[in-house]
Amino acid sequence: MVEVPGALGTKVSLFLRLGQVVFSSASLLFMSVGVQFYSYTSFCFLVTIMGLVIPWSTTLTMLDMYSLFIRCPVRVPGIMVIVVVGDWVLSILSLAAACASASVVDLLAHFDRSYCPLRLCGRYQISASMAFVSWFLTAISCLFNLWWSMACASQYAPGWRVTDEAYIYVTVILMTSTRSCHRNLDDPHIPNGVNMSQVSNTSYMCDTH
């Protein structure tokens, strides 16, 4: 059996899953408790995605604990496919939600403070930062489990071998799968009554490349 640190059923995987639960929960709490996040679509998107990451990571945390307790990793090929695909999808959605929320916070910070008081902007920024950390940990878990799956396939499939270039190619695809998001002066969603002279020809973007 191929052993990959960070794959499902290892201590590294358990720590990664615990980190995902902690940071996604922090992001959700900072965004949703005591603030009117529903006024902005990006914040609603972030709350929705963090609400999906929490039960997903919690379930895999319990699976890691069970595997460590019985000292036998539960690595059925069907389960591993579900874990890799789930981590991959949630990591992309988490990155998109974090980028969108960070862009909105940056945009609001350049407007009048009545749109985003200092206390609220601080909470929005912390929430987006926690979402970025959660995305990073989820992407790492996805890469470790994908690495294990590809290593097992190369070991047991006759005549099939995974090269180092394949690992690099998959890693690049996972890390650059989200497009750049841009917000410019012609955005129709800019609130009415904003002093446009404060924007001063600035484009707001979050670039993941």
Task: Indicate the DSSP class of residue 196.
Answer: G
Closest by CA to 84, choosing from 124, 140, 126, is 140
132 vs 32, higher pLDDT: 132
Residue 83: its H or E element? helix 77-109
pLDDT, position 28: 92
pLDDT score, position 153: 64
Greater pLDDT, 56 or 200: 56
pLDDT tens figures, 152-172: 666 555 444 445 545 454 555
Question: Which backbone phi and psi does 206 adopt, to 5 degrees?
Answer: -125, 115
Summarised one tens digit per residue, pLDDT across range 105-122 is 888 877 766 667 777 788
**Rounded to an integer, what distance in angstroms lies between the CA atom of residue 126 and that of residue 132?**
10
Range scoring the smallest mean pLDDT among 2-6, 93-97, 121-125: 2-6
Confidence class for position 175, pLDDT limits 50, 70, 90: low
Q: What is the pLDDT of residue 27?
A: 93
* Whether the Cβ atoms of residue 62 and residue 70 lie closer than 8 Å to each other: no
pLDDT tens-digit readout, 18-56 = 999 999 999 999 988 877 777 788 889 999 999 999 999
Predicted local distance difference test score (pLDDT) of residue 203: 35
Q: What are the CA-CA distances from residue 69 to residues 72, 83, 145 (Å)?
A: 8, 20, 20
Dist. CA 108–CA 102, nearest whole Å = 10
> Which residues sit opposite 181 in a β-bridge?
206
Nearest to 181 by CA among 66, 74, 101: 101
Q: What distance in Å separates the CA atoms of residue 52 and residue 41, rounded to the nearest whole number?
A: 17
- Which pLDDT belongs to residue 2? 59
pLDDT in tens, 59-93: 999 999 998 888 877 777 778 888 999 999 999 99
The Cα-based distances of 153 to 131, 138, 158 in angstroms read 33, 23, 9
Structure confidence at residue 192 (pLDDT): 46
